[in-house]
Structure 1
Amino acid sequence: MLRPTNSKTWRPDWVALRRLLLQPRVADAALESALDAARARQPLPVIWLLGKAQSGKTSIIRALTGSPNAVIGNGFRACTRTARGYDFPADTPVVRFLDTRGLGETAYDPREDIDYCESQAHLILGVMKATDLDQAEVFRVLQAVRRRHPRWPVVIAQTGLHEAYPPGAGHCLPYPFDRQPWPPAVPRDLTRALHAQRAGLGTLTGDSAAHWVPIDLTLPEDGLEPADYGLAALWAAIGEVSALGLQALLGGDAEVRDTFARTAHPHIVGYALAAAGVGALPAVDLVMVPAVQAKLLHSLAAIYGQRWSGQDLSEFLGLLGLGIGTGYLARLAGRGLIKWVPVLGQTLGVLWGATASGATTYALGKAACYYFGTRRLGERIDSATLRRTYAQALAAGAQLLAGEQAAGTGGRN
């Protein structure tokens, strides 16, 4: 794959690089085995959605992930008899949501679900419909869990605010619930309901208070603007109580603007983390990382509704240019070279493999988004912009991976 021109420089074999990214010679079973091993080294951050049926848990998952597929029976899998998990994105997940379905229902014993979720979760996200004041079972579980895990962060979303609005009223703008006292414009019935729920929980056992966030996530046809009312406050609360970096993983910020880019972002992050995990495996074949990247490029082409053939890949690589191709292949080879360093070789090789594999995957994904997005609009693809996108994303990918390594999954206590 790499051909030395002298002792200090390398030039890429473009035919080999094209083949690696278009038709990687890795059996699906071998790749899945490597991905499974990589995931085992870095478990997913897990958000436990704790609330009654019809409280708005699925709407929250949709809003946080930007995915319309978070519906019952589509993406959820059984964890216990009544608890479900939802991994997102499905192919290379970056986060897992747990949902306990039966809270508050007759003849439901939550102990099995609670035991399972306690063994998995890093953050509890309580969900309560604002007009439903019967939350005794949810409160009981929250208090019990916090007695056992006093340092666990708890965010409570109070949902369905519009059900307490006067007829014909809309949302109170700007969003008023991130400051005290709330302005008189907040409907009195809603104010009473929100305060009654908070009083019902009382003082939460543990090291910190619960973070309460009123939100109203609706559909565009409901006619309430904005449809994601309070979502920014929910993101802020999650970021304040946890070091999981969920917003960076899922792309729920202003940097990821259009629908296609928002949809693509968590896939890129997922594949970058997968490539980093595969690159860190002690005896992985170097072709495994390009195989992960090849799956990402195919996935992105599908998201943007674009063809992806050998001709398209050749154009993409040609626009990226020789310098980026050389750097890519040098990083790919770097681990194999570093492992021969005495004593520290294996440790350095693993670190190099993880960082280089993940960062280049992230950069390829972001560059491909520009390529596919520009082509979808029928506009000219500017090679300088493509190369700049790759270079900026390479640095951003390395920073994202460093943050993930620092945060780890150390939220459980």
Structure 2
Amino acid sequence: MTEQRDRELPSSDRITHETVKESQSDGIHAVWNQTTAKIMQLLPVDRAAQTIVNWFSVSDERVAEILATVRAELPTTEALLIGKPQAGKSSIVRGLTGVSAEIVGQGFRPHTQHTQRYAYPTNDLPLLIFTDTVGLGDVNRETQAIAQELIGDLQQASHCARVLILTVKINDFATDSLKQIAQTLRQKYPDIPCLLAVSCLHEVYPTGTADHPDYPPQFDVVTRAFSAIQQNFSGLYDRAVLIDFTLEEDDYNPVFYGLEALRDTLADLLPEAEARAIYQLLDEKTGQQLGNLYRDVGRRYMLAFAIAAATLAAVPLPFATMPVLTAVQVSMVSLLGKLYGQTLTPSQAGGVVSAIAGGFLAQAIGRELIKFIPGFGSVIAASWAAAYTWALGEGACVYFGDLMGGKKPDPQQIQAVMRSAFQSAQERFKGIKR
């Protein structure tokens, strides 16, 4: 981010009086307003505002330290995608994350000679980790090498819940190499659940079929092929599902045909916390409120960070989670900035967080103090943290969108967007808990 753009950030002086104003007008809970008023009485206004900002200020080193610790607390699922090229593995990633094919393609990074890895939403805060096999063919030597690399991965100690996803095109019966890998992994790790995902259904639809039928498809050709594949992999998987994830330009509706079945089946195979995270990531309300391309992708990332914030905010220690939430939000703003073409250091991202948060800072104090209420504090704090993180993401998108368009960000417009987003997000994340 250039120095000129850094100078365009609203100053801490500008948010001083807004902090007081917002704490009086937004009134999320009477306790918050009363607490804020007492703080303002005890300290000079400028000093109070600076004290609040300092609570949300975390050094780059501390951010890195916190994020390293936070990773162990998140309900992360690692999905090992095993299948031949063009079998629909990347499409499964798109379906579960909601991000575009281009971004999914850019997100994968080489992991070993025959595998690539993609962490969503970021490597620092992964809710989903996808390991994709590459180069899988019918050459026996390659098959053995891929199997050994996967075994090496699975031997590593990990707090993640793990699931194997065998991906097979419905019209592909040359699957000896995939079957060999599945047999090796099943024998070595029988306790890791395995899902058989049969894809590309439209390639065998009867002639003249213009769109997907009601799910599940009742075409005889699909039923016969699905049964044959299941029989071929008998004993090597726990559950099987039919999916057809296409691109918008393919003109098949819905684009992610069978996504609910995939979600429910994965949830059945995963521990409770990880299953809940997947359901939250596929929240239908988010999909109904998508805007342009940038906001579309941005909101998918915001949802993931909101879930992470709620998970961490459930820790029942007043003020203990503030630095952790700040680190999560700094990471989110950094990622959103990159999406809009702005590369920020953690310090710069923290500056954006402090600048656009405005009057929400005082209310955040109330969120922490309400944890003293026995029984209900942590649940309220978790839902508040999710809603606030979402609202902050919306404000950051407006901020970066203005910069992309060559405009100076308008603090009042950003605050209005955040207030509106926060109110709607409160309802969406009501009752969310770890």
What TM-score does the superposition give when structure 2 sets the normalisation length? 0.66
* Residue pair 2:336, 2:397 contacting (<8 A) in 1 also: no
Range with bigger deviation, 75-84 or 103-112: 103-112
Q: CA deviation at 1:252?
A: 4.6
Range with bigger deviation, 380-389 or 134-143: 380-389
Q: Which amino acid aligns with 2:93?
A: I
Quote the residue 1:342 is aligned against. none
Quote the residue 1:126 is aligned against. 166
Quote the residue 2:135 is aligned against. 102
* Residue pair 1:304, 1:372 contacting (<8 A) in 2 also: no
2:391 is the counterpart of 1:367? yes
- Secondary structure of 1:122's partner? strand
After superposition, the CA RMSD in angstroms is 4.7
Q: Which amino acid aligns with 1:112?
A: Q
Match runs of 1:140-179 below 5 Å: 140-177=180-217
Could you tell me which runs of 5 or more consecutive residues in structure 1 were left unpaired when the two chains were aligned.
Answer: 339-347, 403-413
Q: Which amino acid aligns with 1:363?
A: A
**Distance change in 2, residues 1:80/1:355 (3 Å):** farther
2:364 is the counterpart of 1:328? yes
Q: Which amino acid aligns with 1:237?
A: T
d(CA) in 1 for partners of 2:85 and 2:369?
A: 52
**Distance change in 2, residues 1:147/1:65 (3 Å):** same
From 92, 110, 116, give the equivalent of 1:60: 92
Task: Name the structure with the higher helix share.
Answer: 2
Range with bigger deviation, 149-158 or 247-256: 247-256
d(CA) in 2 for partners of 1:387 and 1:40?
A: 28
- Secondary structure of 2:241's partner? strand
Quote the residue 1:114 is aligned against. 150
**Distance change in 2, residues 1:166/1:104 (3 Å):** same
Could you tell me which runs of 5 or more consecutive residues in structure 2 were left unpaired when the two chains were aligned.
Answer: 1-15, 20-31, 343-348, 402-412
Deviations 1:241-299 (A, max 9, x none): 22323433423534542253674244343365268659969997954543543553565
d(CA) in 1 for partners of 2:284 and 2:35?
A: 45
Q: CA deviation at 1:98?
A: 1.0
- Secondary structure of 1:134's partner? coil
* Residue pair 1:10, 1:326 contacting (<8 A) in 2 also: no
Deviations 1:79-121 (A, max 9, x none): 2221121101126321101112233342302232221343356
From 284, 289, 296, give the equivalent of 2:332: 296
Q: CA deviation at 1:77?
A: 2.1
Range with bigger deviation, 89-98 or 255-264: 255-264
* Residue pair 1:161, 1:216 contacting (<8 A) in 2 also: yes
**Distance change in 2, residues 1:198/1:284 (3 Å):** same
**Distance change in 2, residues 1:45/1:17 (3 Å):** farther
From 7, 12, 16, give the equivalent of 2:50: 16
2:116 is the counterpart of 1:84? yes
- Secondary structure of 2:126's partner? coil
d(CA) in 1 for partners of 2:369 and 2:415?
A: 33
Deviations 1:36-86 (A, max 9, x none): 1221454732111111222110111112111124544x2112222211211
Quote the residue 1:231 is aligned against. 259
Q: Which amino acid aligns with 1:223?
A: D
- Secondary structure of 2:174's partner? coil
d(CA) in 2 for partners of 1:374 and 1:80?
A: 39
**Distance change in 2, residues 1:104/1:97 (3 Å):** same
Range with bigger deviation, 45-54 or 361-370: 361-370
* Residue pair 1:39, 1:277 contacting (<8 A) in 2 also: no
Q: CA deviation at 1:10?
A: 4.5
Q: Which amino acid aligns with 2:170?
A: A
**Distance change in 2, residues 1:149/1:137 (3 Å):** same
* Residue pair 1:20, 1:287 contacting (<8 A) in 2 also: no
**Distance change in 2, residues 1:276/1:221 (3 Å):** closer
Deviations 1:339-368 (A, max 9, x none): xxxxxxxxx9xxx8x978755431212334
Q: Which amino acid aligns with 2:174?
A: D
Quote the residue 1:216 is aligned against. 244
Alignment length (residue pairs): 365
2:269 is the counterpart of 1:269? no
2:282 is the counterpart of 1:248? no
From 57, 63, 69, give the equivalent of 1:31: 63
Q: CA deviation at 1:216?
A: 1.4
- Secondary structure of 1:79's partner? strand
Q: Which amino acid aligns with 2:265?
A: A
- Secondary structure of 2:71's partner? helix
Q: Which amino acid aligns with 1:92?
A: L
d(CA) in 2 for partners of 1:5 and 1:115?
A: 56
What TM-score does the superposition give when structure 1 sets the normalisation length? 0.69
Deviations 1:204-253 (A, max 9, x none): 15xxx632222211122222222222222212221232232343342353
Q: Which amino acid aligns with 1:253?
A: E
Q: Which amino acid aligns with 1:364?
A: Y
